[in-house]
Amino acid sequence: MADIFENFPLWAALLAIGIAQFIKIPLHFFATKTWQWSLMLSTGGMPSSHSSAVTALSTAVGLREGFSSNMFAISAILGVIVMFDAAGVRRHAGMQAVVLNKLVDEFNHLLEGMKSFKVRPSQEKAKKLKELLGHQPIEVLIGGWLGIMIALLVHPFF
């Protein structure tokens, strides 16, 4: 069990996630002048904590096992997939959520106008979908850079 505390790649990745998530709070404050502490546990936004985690992991594995090792190759390819997904599929899912939320709002407005009809539609309101799921490419790039920097800075302590 004590070995887990010496697992440099694990701690580099976890630290990268924590730092990336924390950075979102002051960045949001500078942009909006409001504190939003819930960003610490949310997806999307600047920087990408997913990208930070996988680049810190890959960098740490490369530093520990060698950049020509099979373990580095596995972590690097999985990292590329995660980063591509963050900027692609998840980003587009968030864009679809924006459109669906707008449709639901317009449908609810239509239902309000139909209250005088004899047949009443269901009064249930649809739950809004989370719109900030993925990342802009720059958020992925900055998150990736942050992960590499964290792994390089933490490496001397292991």
pLDDT surpassing 80 at residue 95:
no
Better-predicted residue by pLDDT, 67 or 111: 67
Distance CA 62, CA 70 (A): 10
Structure confidence at residue 44 (pLDDT): 78
**What would the mean pLDDT of 13-34 be, rounded to a whole number?**
95
Q: State the chain's mean pLDDT as an integer.
A: 85
Question: CB within 8 A of 146, min separation 6: which ones?
Answer: 16, 19, 20, 23, 47, 51, 52, 55
pLDDT-based confidence at residue 116 (cuts at 50, 70, 90): low
Which of 42-56, 60-74, 125-139 has the least mean pLDDT?
125-139
Question: CB within 8 A of 120, min separation 6: which ones?
Answer: none
**Nearest Cα to 142, choosing from 83, 89, 62, 85?**
83
Residue 43 and residue 113 in one domain: no
pLDDT digit string, tens, across residues 35-55: 999 889 887 788 999 999 999
Distance CA 70, CA 61 (A): 10
Residue 42 and residue 95 in one domain: no
The whole domain housing 98 covers 89-133
Residue 80 and residue 109 in one domain: no
Amino acid at 24: K
pLDDT surpassing 80 at residue 126:
no
Domains in the chain: how many in total? Answer: 2
Q: What is the secondary structure of 100-156 as a DSSP string? A: HHHHHHHHHHHHHHTTTSSSPPP-PPPPPPP---S--HHHHHHHHHHHHHHHHHHGG
Chain centroid to CA 153: how far? 22
Global model pTM greater than 0.85:
no
Dihedral, 57, 48, 80, 60 alpha carbons, nearest 10: -10
Residue 36 and residue 96 in one domain: no
Structure confidence at residue 135 (pLDDT): 74
**What would the mean pLDDT of 121-150 be, rounded to a whole number?**
77
* Gyration radius (Cα) of the chain, Å: 21
Residue 95 and residue 84 in one domain: no
Residue 42 and residue 26 in one domain: yes
Residue 34 and residue 62 in one domain: yes
